[in-house]
Structure 1
């Protein structure tokens, strides 16, 4: 009884103590969080289990998956219907798990999924590590797909990077692991994965690259093939041998670190691997490499055979390749993009030899455009109120410590805006950029389709910001279209095997980028650059407008121009960005432009440019002198007291017409009318200016007003 009483007393004391010390609010919420978190996790696991179970039940059998090849055949046609390329799957022979070389299995597991035999379809450790690296690094989640997930994606899904697709991929991977053994999954993967060049499976890849069946793969060959999965086009041994070898060395190192091969096996000479010779491919592959990936956006998900009708002109493509090969300096690469007036890509060349290097310098490479960038400087100036006849001064200037120099090193003094542009005067471009604002110039570039980062430092007016050739060509095409936006496109329509159209290109919405008078004034300047300026080598016997560009130390040469509705851009330079002796935009690039354009416009009538400036009223408002009458309508007395007739002024050699506004003490002299150019259009620069620029008789220059200071690159 005493013991029972003491226990009752102890229990009573415990209750009193608990009542006196209630649990804290934080502990209470923590308990609730743990409880509900556990409940939700349990519920999620239940739903996941059900999803995996239903997915596993709906999966095809192993034999059905072996027999199903879901790759797509794509026929690519030119604008005239000519077949230019057929991209289709090649599967080779199915190799069973027992016959697949062990070194091939080890190579693939080492580089794609090192914990393949220990996870259940999804690798929690790899996923956690990727999330940690993303949180502590640049915020980007690296690839975390296991071999099983890749198989699920390749067989059942597409490659869209969406959360929904990743979740479905994970569920299917778990279902595959539930239904099939690791050996079966690896066999399916190695016989179905894409290795580039249309090759699906290791047997097809082995025959394509090494001319023998996949059952005979050596350690080095297996390393090359395994390295392709990450980026088939980038590491393809037929496109870039060095890249393929470097990637294979990474695979061998991983195999050695994971203990799958010995040190002796890891030191094999990959360079000694004999690759199957491949016939040269037409440069049209540069175009298809740019255009065909757009199908992922343009089309709904489909695996049926399709025909892609493109904008490419076979004859122009051939002419473009020939022009680049014939005119590119030794050791330099070249690229060309040609757009029709609606943005259709007529020709696209990304390099001199696609087999040697498939890197697309027309759509991917970012290089400095040199003085062709002055397009945006002068567009901004024209929009601000300048006209081609306005007077500017070519004189040394300094802006924020930066002092640009002209290409020839000299200065021509006063000239009109047209001449300054035609002769690519860097000091004038710097002054204009400073006046309108470097941010305004950058905004103009973005307005006209420049998608790369644009600097706002003073030197930007000379083309120090790197751009893509296709973007620069697009910008000039918008000027050709009288200031209306142009959207480059390469795919006209897509049809199925039975002729059903599943995609049809629709004309992009047009946006007026600048007023008509700005586009007309810019066309005037561009035409002058070809008629009498730095772009004379681009003349083709009909009206041409364009601009040269040459970067510091002759590392890049540019010419972009248009004629008869076709706009073409040409770039030349070295991939390693080293100087190319003698490379200037007005030489090899302009010559390549002319060689191509003579062919491109041969079936089109010449078109005279619209350079008539219909200025807006705000630019036509009279100054204060208007209110005192027109000086040419009344008599007045000069400083010496002489009576001056209307429209005449007394000079050293008698009366002659007034031209322009005189500075104090300065007397105008008659100006010779400009001589017509070769194509019949008026000469851009007056003979007075040419006299000054070439050392002839030099008139009294006006005193230059203090000017802003420009950049340094010696670019023209």
Structure 2
């Protein structure tokens, strides 16, 4: 049993053979010999044959070195190929890691979305034409389908000719750009596709770095996966920057050519396509030769790609695009600024484009701008007048034209709505209305004679006094002492309350000088207040916004009936219109008369000729003009009766042309028969008119008291003849 158990006992194999010792006989040897390996025998035989052959060659002399050299060359090339392969693999791994790292800095792909474009506010005239765009972009979103085909093709031709064949990143374009950059001084070209440019505009900062380029490529691949080519191109055309605050082709077309993008010509499309490379350097309104040269390159590229026929390119080159001129920097921008000031009152927060319909008439706006600018260009230097404003509205308060300054490009300050200036005698109708409402009539007589209130002694500009005059004549001739007397009779507070009832919202000082217009107001307030005289006594709230809609037509706001209600009794309106009508008959605005129309109004001049006003109206339109200097510097005797009346008549002649005359409410009942020569001379009218024209208009501030003169007698016959010739009195 012991022997049996001994024979059955198995020993664990031992694979370790001590170094330097030979395995004992019978021990298990598991090491592989050359013969045990696959092909070992063949390898051994070959090795032996090689040794023999080597011996023969060594002894024979020539073939052995050649074979060794070939073996070395093959070994070197193999090692080199292997090294390149390894380096390539590591390079790919490194690039993949780099891409993965920069991708990790971006939001997760499933959370990526194209950011909303800031909303545009399209501001339209009453006829639907565009006045201006407001918002961060400067123009509305346009569909690629509404654009002429050559417009998007211009961008593809010059910026990314392989746009429709690449996958967002263009290796061929990158290689070409690198090649051209190596052969030119500086960076000649970039390899960014339109998709990459869009990705940069949508998601990234403008910094130029390798990191940003990698992220740009990643985002471009995502865009290509998410959108079609036309959708990408449409996004690009609506987001790319064209300079001058214009983002997108619609904003650029309006900014540079004064037309919508759908209406641009081939030459203009080529100029827009070339502009995006360097908006500030290639802007056509700043560097027209460079813009036209770049447009020619775009046209050549379009012809080369077959986008447009050669004949069309020839015509476009012959009729190169030019920027549209915008006289005065575009006075419609004053209207747009007013719209933006009041828009929050009508609509809340909005995230998509909206359309604001205004009450402004483009023809009247242009006529108003031309009348104001031309007169200032012609006589502004002579009278030392540098600025002006004009407001024109329908009697219900709908603004038809608004000019806030001489040149919007030079100054965006809106003098029509914001500048508060002394209205001078243009404020007197509120004094007279307060008196009428307390029993006076146009034929009520008051004394035009020296008056003293405390230490204040107001005078007429002529320093002459007419004695007993009717209120009709006193207002037409703008006699200061009569206005002050009426103000004292009704009380300064009543004058203030009357003006406020008619719509004056600026702070008014209830003192004696309020009768001469010493409290500051805006032109818009004054024109609005006069509207109640033109419409028969209904208080007016001036307005410019008629409706607000979304681009899909949804009405967000629509103006309804509104106003201050009746603020003047109809009979009082008739008396006021009759008195202010005399301003055009015998008074300070006689040269502003327009044949065939019943007109009424009042001139105004503030202390030291700092402000010159005229506000006049027909039964269909109320217009006010202010002239002066922003810093309050006195003019050289510019009064309400000269430059403002000239501007008013020029504009109103155009505005009323072709219309059927509308009667002034209540005028016929209180209209006075035409003055005779003798009666006007007796009233001293021509002397006051002469004072207005030559700078002696009524003055609002106190003047030193001259010795009380005797009542002025009728002018000598020779003087009367002079006045008759000068003013047409008695004709």
Partner of 2:611: 556
**Structure 1 residues 613, 78: CA separation in 2 closer, same or farther (over 3 Å shift)?**
closer
Measure the CA separation in 2 of the matches of 1:503 and 1:340.
Answer: 21
Alignment partner, residue 688 of structure 1 = 679
Partner in structure 1 of residue 129 of structure 2: 82
1:712 maps onto 2:702 in alignment: yes
Q: How big is the shift at 1:78?
A: 1.2
Deviation by residue 1:216-254 (Cα, 9 ceiling, x = unmatched): 99xxxxxxxxxxxxxxxxxxxx9xxxxxxxxxxxxxxxx
2: CA distance between counterparts of 1:387 and 1:303?
Answer: 57
Q: Does 1:589 align with 2:644?
A: yes
Is residue 494 from structure 1 mapped to residue 494 from structure 2 by the alignment?
no
- Using the alignment, how far apart are the partners of 1:604 and 1:320 within structure 2? 17
1:264-275 superposed matches below 5 A: none
How far apart, CA to CA, are the structure 1 residues paired with 2:504 and 2:613?
Answer: 16
Query: For 1:372, which of 415, 426, 436 is the aligned residue?
Result: 426
Whole-angstrom CA distance in 2 between matches of 1:86 and 1:399: 54
CA 1:559–1:70 in structure 2 vs 1: closer, same or farther (change >3 Å)? Answer: same
Residue 24 (structure 1) aligns with = none
Contact 1:100 1:215 in 2 (8 A): no
Residues 695 and 585 (structure 1 numbering): CA distance in 2 closer, same or farther, change over 3 Å? closer
Match of 1:139 in 2: none
- Quick check: 2:395–2:622 contact (8 Å CA) kept in 1? yes
| Cα separation, 2, equivalents of 1:685 and 1:66 | 81
Which of 293, 307, 319 aligns to 2:341? It is 293
Measure how far apart 1:311 and its partner are.
0.6
| SS of the residue 1:547 aligns to | strand
Whole-angstrom CA distance in 2 between matches of 1:290 and 1:592: 23
Cα distance change of structure 1 residues 308 and 76 upon mapping to structure 2, 3 Å threshold = same
Alignment of 1:292-371 (within 5 A): 292-328=340-376, 329-330=380-381, 331-371=385-425
Deviations, residues 522-573 of structure 1 (Å, cap 9, x unaligned): 1111101121101113211121100000111111000001013100010000
C-alpha distance in 2 between matches for 1:65 and 1:336: 51
Distance in 1 between residues matched to 2:530 and 2:434, nearest whole Å: 14
In 2: Cα distance, 1:279 partner to 1:609 partner: 37
Gaps of 5+ in 1: 1-59, 103-190, 218-237, 239-275, 616-679, 697-709
1:171-214 per-residue CA deviation (whole Å, 9 max, x = no partner) reads xxxxxxxxxxxxxxxxxxxx99xx994679xxx9xx99xx9999
Contact 1:572–1:589 (Cα < 8 Å) also in 2: yes
CA distance in 2, matches of 1:75, 1:62: 35
Deviations 1:305-326 (A, max 9, x none): 2222111101100100011012
Distance 1:415 1:341 in 2: 31
Q: Distance in 2 between matches of 1:406 and 1:465?
A: 19
RMSD over aligned CA atoms reads 3.8
Residues in 1 aligned to 2:545 and 2:641: alpha-carbon distance in whole angstroms: 33
For residue 461 of structure 1, the aligned residue among 515, 521, 536 is 515
In structure 2, distance between residues paired with 1:421 and 1:407: 14
CA 1:684/1:472 → structure 2, altered by over 3 Å: closer, same or farther?
Answer: farther
Q: Deviations over 1:665-697 (max 9, x none)?
A: xxxxxxxxxxxxxxx97326884352241699x
Match of 1:67 in 2: 114
Query: Could you tell me whether the CA contact under 8 Å between 1:540 and 1:598 is conserved in 2?
Result: yes
Answering whether residue 502 of structure 2 is matched by residue 448 of structure 1, we say yes
Tell whether the 8 Å contact from 2:124 to 2:357 is kept in structure 1 after alignment: yes
Could you say which residue in structure 2 is the equivalent of 1:580?
A: 635
Q: 1:474 aligns with which of 518, 528, 533?
A: 528
Q: Deviations over 1:278-308 (max 9, x none)?
A: 9663211111110233222211322222222
* Contact 2:364 2:655 (8 Å CA) reproduced: yes
Contact 1:421 1:529 in 2 (8 A): yes
The separation in 1 between residues aligned to 2:396 and 2:558, in whole angstroms, is: 15
What is the CA–CA distance in structure 2 between the aligned matches of 1:277 and 1:79, rounded to whole Å?
Answer: 22
8 Å CA contact 2:120–2:137 kept in 1: the answer is no
Higher share of residues assigned helix: 2
User: Equivalent of 1:507, from 561, 571, 593?
Assistant: 561
Listed as ranges, the matches of 1:40-55 within 5 Å are none
- Other structure's SS at 1:348 match: strand
The 1:502–1:582 alpha-carbon spacing in structure 2 relative to 1, beyond 3 Å, is same
Among 599, 624, 627, the alignment partner of 1:569 is: 624
C-alpha change, 1:614 and 1:314, in structure 2 (3 Å) is closer
* CA distance in structure 2 between the aligned counterparts of 1:334 and 1:566, rounded to whole angstroms: 20
CA deviation vs aligned residue, 1:402-431 (integer Å, no higher than 9, x gap)? 111101110010111100001000000000
CA distance in 1, matches of 2:279, 2:462: 64
Give 2:709's aligned residue: none
Whether the 8 Å contact between 2:119 and 2:137 is mirrored in structure 1 is no
Mapped contact 1:87–1:198 kept (Cα < 8 A): no
The answer to whether the 8 Å contact 2:609/2:634 transfers is: yes
Write the distance in 1 (CA, Å) between the matches of 2:684 and 2:334: 43
Query: Following superposition of structure 1 onto structure 2, how do residues 629-640 of structure 1 map, counting pairs within 5 Å?
Result: none
What pairs with 1:192-207 in structure 2 (closer than 5 Å)? Answer: 197=245
Larger Rg belongs to? 2
CA distance in 1, matches of 2:424, 2:582: 18
User: Closer, same or farther in 2 for the Cα pair 1:687/1:386, shift >3 Å?
Assistant: farther
Task: Please name the residue that 1:483 is paired with.
Answer: 537
Counterpart-to-counterpart distance in 1, 2:574 and 2:615: 17
Structure 2: distance between partners of 1:416 and 1:686: 17
SS in 2 for 1:527: helix
The residue correspondences of 1:671-682 to structure 2 (distance < 5 A) are 682=673
Taking structure 1 as reference, are residues 544 and 426 closer, same or farther at Cα in structure 2, changes over 3 Å only? same
Q: What SS class does the counterpart of residue 683 from structure 1 fall into?
A: coil
Q: After superposition, what is the alpha-carbon deviation per residue over 1:5-33, rounded to whole angstroms, capped at 9, x for unaligned?
A: xxxxxxxxxxxxxxxxxxxxxxxxxxxxx
Q: Is it true that 1:408 corresponds to 2:477 in the alignment? A: no
For 1:685 and 1:521, the matched residues in 2 are separated by 21
Distance 1:292 1:431 in 2: 43
Counterpart of 1:419 in structure 2 is: 473
Following superposition, the deviation at residue 350 of structure 1 comes to 0.3
Q: Equivalent residues in 2 for 1:516-535 (5 A)?
A: 516-535=570-589
Contact 1:341 1:481 in 2 (8 A): yes
Listed as ranges, the matches of 1:541-552 within 5 Å are: 541=595, 542-552=597-607
**TM-score of the two chains, using structure 2 as the length reference:** 0.53
Q: For the structure 1 residues 399 and 564, does the alpha-carbon distance in structure 2 shift closer, same or farther, using more than 3 Å as the test?
A: same
Offset of 1:100 from its aligned partner?
4.3
The CA distance in 1 between the partners of 2:245 and 2:493, in whole Å, is: 45
Report SS of the residue matched to 2:674.
coil
SS of 2:566's partner is coil
What CA deviation, in whole Å up to 9, does each residue of 1:323-382 have, x standing for no partner?
A: 101223234211000011221100000011110111100001111111000011111011
Kindly indicate whether the alpha-carbon contact (under 8 Å) linking 2:120 and 2:135 is maintained by their aligned counterparts in 1: yes
Provide the rounded CA distance (Å) in 1 between the counterparts of 2:566 and 2:677: 33
TM-score, normalising length: structure 1: 0.54
Q: Alpha carbons of 1:692 and 1:504: their partners in 2 closer, same or farther (altered >3 Å)? A: closer
TM-aligned CA deviation for residue 509 of structure 1:
4.1
Are 2:534 and 2:665, in contact at CA under 8 Å, matched by a contact in 1?
A: no
Alpha-carbon distance in 1 for matches of 2:495, 2:410 = 38
Partners of 1:62 and 1:353 lie apart in 2 by 50
1:395 aligned to which of 438, 442, 449:
449
How many Å separate the matches in 1 of 2:517 and 2:683?
27
> Is the 8 Å Cα contact of residues 77 and 310 (structure 1) preserved in structure 2?
yes
- Looking at structure 2, the residues matched to 459 and 351 of structure 1 have their Cα atoms a distance apart, in angstroms, of 29
